[in-house]
Chains A and B, each alone.
Chain A
Amino acid sequence: MINIEALEVSFHQGGGEDRKVLNGIDLRVPKGQTVSIIGSNGAGKSTLLNAIAGTVPISSGSIVLDGRDCGKDPEWRRAAYLGRVRQNPLAGTAGEMTILDNLALAARKGPRGLRIAVNKSKAKVLAEQVSQLDMGLENRLRENVSRLSGGQRQALTLLMAVLSHPSVLLLDEHTAALDPGNAEIVGRLTRRFIAEYGLTALIVTHDMKQALEQADRVVMMHEGRILADVSGGLKERMGVADLVELFRQSRGKDYAEDRDLLG
């Protein structure tokens, strides 16, 4: 469960004036809900995810994850609740380590001890997990991750993000850097994992169609604020054209220039 209230994030810029990137965000996401976040470039979508994860510090407001107010916690502490996949397939894995070691690292959260990381039974469990990806990676466990293709690596990152059963999954355009085929595969895996693990998920995307299909709810952002928030029957009845129209109405003017960015 996510509960965000009056969240503000400012970035310093030259000249002493701060720029508000998030300007009073209120967002409640009940457990198990999937939310698509859309909006033009610079709307603050990625910053919102970064603020939740603790990658950027918040200026004011509160972030409550699973009942714990963690707006001030360091990133690594918040990671206990979070699984995360970024756009760059290289971002979430250690390329010069084996698939097996990467999985072992991601298999649970928190500080580590001196136990041997991968024994035979553990390797077997992890091999079963990675076989879910249906990419034959279970036969390449001792290979370095840097040898995988972008699609394979992103699928592995996704698996690593959910492996420790976090309560919240944050996906920041995680299929945008992939070719259409791989994007489709990773998208399908995403839906499957979210359902299987009962995850609460926030998905930033530029793809309006995907935004409607993959989520229970669509949140539209613009200039650091939430412009529109559709769910339930209303969302079900909407098509891409309706979504664009909604955006136009909510924003009023200046729509034309953003049309391409949104579509």
Chain B
Amino acid sequence: MIEGILVEGLVYGIMALGLFISFRILDFPDLTVEGSFPAGAAAASAIVAGLAGALAPRAPAAGGFGAAGGLGAAAAVPAGLAAAAPVLALIGGFAAGALAGLVTSLIHHRLKVPPILAGIITMTGFYSINLRILGGRPNMPLIRNNPLLGFARTWLGSGVLQDISLFIAALLAALLVAGLMDLFFHTEIGIAMGAMGDNEASVVQAGINPVSLRSLGIALANGIVGLSGALAASYQGFADVNFGAGIVASGLASVMLGELLIKSQFIGVQIFRVLAGSILFKGLMYVARSWGYLAGITPNDLRLLTALLIIGSISVSKYAGKKPKALSRPGEKRR
């Protein structure tokens, strides 16, 4: 079961990376995540299902049903699209999440709605949007052209155990996202974004529009969350409209566990420790699920455990560490 913990930790760790950007870098407590995560999952499943639907008429056409011109053209294009379906699904997941982020950012900036409320509004609205993406049903299978499983099977060969190839696929995805993030936060725009949550005045003074910069950051954060949602759907084999429930708390717990685990002021370390925190979080949840009954803990108690974990992490960093505000920025000063 260790592979399960690792894969889940990595897939959901990407979500925590998105959360790290909004909560830690931008200092923007963003609950959009509860909507953008399932949005990414739904978009990925719908794209795969939609492409499969476009491909389906090919069989009867080949069988001599006398395809109309339109169908014939549709059949010609998807041949290439079929191979690209998993990639398109991931891009779609990112885009759906980023869109949700942009909506929150617009509500916040245009209507001067506080971040938390703006996120709640978006997340509430996206519940219905996600149901629409899923075709009116609460969930949708993602079996064929599955990005994660497909990659694991085709590229890593069939000689490797599925659990291990799946782990490698998830690891590659997580490392790619974390690596790109690390690179991004060393660029000019990344540095400006880092200064944003710290002291907005310094960004304004540099002649940068703080509204565009924050919007970009929120979109990026939720895009990464959406990508994680797409990968989660891929891992689970289906997308569910309720994927997002409780996800902010588990992501935050992951971020904080990472911070307890590894102290650093370097952005690269701060990014990668989120993944470590996420794996640890999934491990703790697995332990609670598997052996919790010994202490009278049922799966119903997991949310409470998550909440307590967050409270515990804040308490530890507040009383054991030197940094009083546990819900503030990265680059925390450590002696």
From A74, A96, A112, A164, contact of B187 by CB (8 A)? A112
Residues of B within 8 A of A105 (CB): 191-192, 195, 202-203, 206
A125 to B6, CA, bound (A): 44
From A96, A108, A110, contact of B330 by CB (8 A)? A96
B191, B198, B204, B205 interface centre (most CB from chain A within 10 Å):
B205
Chain A minimum-CB-distance residue to B199: A94
A75, A92, A97, A164 interface centre (most CB from chain B within 10 Å):
A97
B191, B203, B206, B329 interface centre (most CB from chain A within 10 Å):
B206
Residues of A within 8 A of B190 (CB): 117
Docked-complex contact A94 and B194, CB < 8 angstroms: yes
Docked-complex contact B202 and A94, CB < 8 angstroms: yes
From A96, A97, A112, A115, contact of B208 by CB (8 A)? A112
A149 to B188, CA, bound (A): 27
A101 to B198, CA, bound (A): 12
CB within 8 Å of B: which A80-120 residues: 80, 82-84, 90-97, 101-102, 104-106, 108-118
Contacts A96-B333, A104-B188; A76 near B199 (Cβ below 8 A): no
Chain B interface residue count, CB cutoff 8 Å, equals: 29
> Chain A 108-137 against B: per-residue CB contact (8 Å), 1 yes, 0 no?
111111111110000000000000000000
Taking A94-B199, A144-B331 as known contacts, 19 extra A-B pairs with beta carbons closer than 8 A to each other, sorted by chain A number, are A74-B209, A76-B207, A76-B208, A77-B207, A79-B207, A84-B205, A91-B199, A92-B205, A94-B198, A104-B191, A105-B203, A108-B207, A110-B206, A111-B208, A144-B265, A144-B333, A146-B333, A147-B333, A160-B205
Docked-complex contact A76 and B202, CB < 8 angstroms: no
Residues of A within 8 A of B199 (CB): 90-95
Distance in Å: Cβ of B51 to nearest Cβ of chain A: 31
A109, A113, A117, A147 interface centre (most CB from chain B within 10 Å):
A117
Chain A minimum-CB-distance residue to B186: A116
Contacts A92-B202, A93-B199, A96-B331; A101 near B208 (Cβ below 8 A): no
Docked-complex contact B202 and A102, CB < 8 angstroms: yes
A38 at the interface (CB under 8 A from B): no
A161 at the interface (CB under 8 A from B): yes
B327 at the interface (CB under 8 A from A): no
A101 to B202, CA, bound (A): 11
Chain B minimum-CB-distance residue to A104: B191
Docked-complex contact A76 and B210, CB < 8 angstroms: yes
CB within 8 Å of A: which B140-197 residues: 184, 186-192, 194-195
> Chain B 293-335 against A: per-residue CB contact (8 Å), 1 yes, 0 no?
0000000000000000000000000000000000001111100
The number of inter-chain residue pairs (CB within 8 angstroms) is: 108
Chain B minimum-CB-distance residue to A107: B206
What is the interface residue range for chain A against chain B? 35 or more
Distance in Å: Cβ of B271 to nearest Cβ of chain A: 15
B201 at the interface (CB under 8 A from A): yes
Q: Which residues of B contact A (CB under 8 A)?
A: 184, 186-192, 194-195, 198-199, 201-210, 212, 265, 329-333
A109 to B202, CA, bound (A): 11
Residues of B within 8 A of A111 (CB): 207-209, 212
Contacts A102-B202, A106-B202; A115 near B209 (Cβ below 8 A): no
Chain B minimum-CB-distance residue to A100: B191
Distance in Å: Cβ of A238 to nearest Cβ of chain B: 34
Q: Which residues of A contact B (CB under 8 A)?
A: 74-77, 79-80, 82-84, 90-97, 101-102, 104-106, 108-118, 144, 146-147, 160-161, 164
Residues of A within 8 A of B208 (CB): 76, 110-112
Residues of A within 8 A of B186 (CB): 116-118
Distance in Å: Cβ of A184 to nearest Cβ of chain B: 25
Docked-complex contact B187 and A116, CB < 8 angstroms: yes
Contacts A94-B195, A96-B198, A96-B330; A75 near B204 (Cβ below 8 A): yes
A93 to B203, CA, bound (A): 9
Docked-complex contact B192 and A112, CB < 8 angstroms: yes
From B188, B201, B207, B210, contact of A109 by CB (8 A)? B207
B191, B212, B333 interface centre (most CB from chain A within 10 Å):
B191
Residues of A within 8 A of B188 (CB): 104, 112-117
Docked-complex contact B187 and A117, CB < 8 angstroms: yes
A93 to B207, CA, bound (A): 14
Chain B minimum-CB-distance residue to A119: B186
A75 to B206, CA, bound (A): 10
From A80, A95, A96, contact of B207 by CB (8 A)? A80
Docked-complex contact A76 and B191, CB < 8 angstroms: no
Chain A minimum-CB-distance residue to B330: A96
20 A-B residue contacts at CB 8 Å? A75-B204, A76-B203, A76-B208, A91-B199, A92-B199, A95-B198, A96-B265, A96-B330, A101-B191, A102-B202, A104-B191, A105-B195, A106-B202, A106-B206, A111-B207, A112-B191, A117-B186, A118-B186, A144-B333, A160-B205
Distance in Å: Cβ of B22 to nearest Cβ of chain A: 16
Residues of B within 8 A of A104 (CB): 188, 191
